[in-house]
Amino acid sequence: MRLQHEHVAVERALAEIRAGRPVTIMDGAAAVLAVAAEGLDATLAAEFGALAAGTARLVLPAARLRRLGLERARPGVVALPRLDPARIERLTLALDATIDAPVSPAVPLDDVALELARLALVLPAMVLAEVAAPDAGVLRVAASAIAAYRAGEVQRLRIVGRGPVPLAGAPDSEFVVFRGGEGLRDQVAVVVGRPDLAGVVPVRLHSACLTGDLFGSLACDCGDQLRDTARRMAAGAGGIILYLDHEGRGTGIANKMRAYQLQSQGFDTFDADEALGFDPDGRRFDFAAAMLRQLGVTKVRLLTNNPVKTDALRTAGLEVVAEERVFGRQTAANLRYLSAKRDRAGHAIDIKPPPDQA
């Protein structure tokens, strides 16, 4: 029951952080007040200051520090003698910002606060301070519970619903809904046809992409890959598409749109994420392996261009018997995106030169 209580406390803390409210992170006798840097306005800063003791600090990940001009491999901390929302926003988001004060190494509670931000799918930048009164009505959560949350979500993964969903090009399909894993929504296994689960099953790990999957965005190839995979599985012996809550390579839809705005200004997809403080890819796929096991799958033919997915399933103990490439449309709008995935993340993508360069 204690572990279940701690898990619920983290879920509540995620809701508080996303709502712009502070939480208290506990680690033995130590405690810090933490609030997301994004959306910190004068009112919230005043409320935070009333609950805090001593000087506050801004915790930034290494990726954002590099954007600010510091080559760091670890997160760092900037002192905030005054809670100035404009300064915090500048250090957190502005493209032309430079570091304006000494940066101290992050301590363990700082790292935990950044993990809470990532789990909440907000910008990875947190304002922390010592707590003036630990029982001031602010939600309390254990640092150990935050650190263990991702692994716990894999262990808690379970099927909560299933039903037939006829798809265009794959009319004999079933959706199996799992609770747990990554992100803030349920995961879905789309079982296409009647695959032999005891044999080698065609499988695709598909990260959710609202813009491409639903709206047909020309800036990526995600929707094409999703629909083509379903049709290929239906035309063959069937297969399974795992539709995973990994929007924006694990950053969430809001941060994905921030990155898209940067891409419109000339950044590639990875540089845009780094400017926001994210690593090149924040996704984990251990829970995808757990989904497959619950469906009775142990051997797969993986439909992917991404070697990380292959390695992740093998590390999780599944047998990847073969790989098969998945293709989408190449457009003028997604050429740079596809090139970045090939050149910077090792995706197996053949890119045709534009007609005027052929």
Among all residues, which ones are annotated catalytic? Answer: 281, 283
Contacts of residue 290, defined as CB under 8 A and 6 or more positions apart, other chains included, come to 154, 157, 181, 316
Within a 13 Å sphere around the CA of 100, how many CA atoms are in the beta-carbon half?
Answer: 12
Strand partners, 244: 207
Rg of the chain (C-alpha set): 22
Q: Integer distance in angstroms from the first to the last C-alpha of the chain? A: 64
CB of 127 within 8 A of CB of 40? yes
Q: What is the DSSP string of 131-175?
A: ES-TTSS--EEEHHHHHTHHHHHHHT-EEEEEEE--BTTB-SEEE
Q: How far is CA 55 from the centre of its chain?
A: 31
CB of 241 within 8 A of CB of 226? yes
Comparing C-alpha atoms, which of 24, 42, 283, 306 is closest to residue 145?
Answer: 24
Within a 13 Å sphere around the CA of 345, how many CA atoms are in the beta-carbon half?
Answer: 21
Crossing angle of the two packed helices 269-276 and 335-345, in degrees rounded to 10? 80
Amino acid residing at 271: D
Within a 13 Å sphere around the CA of 144, how many CA atoms are in the beta-carbon half?
Answer: 8
H-helix or E-strand spanning residue 13: helix 2-18
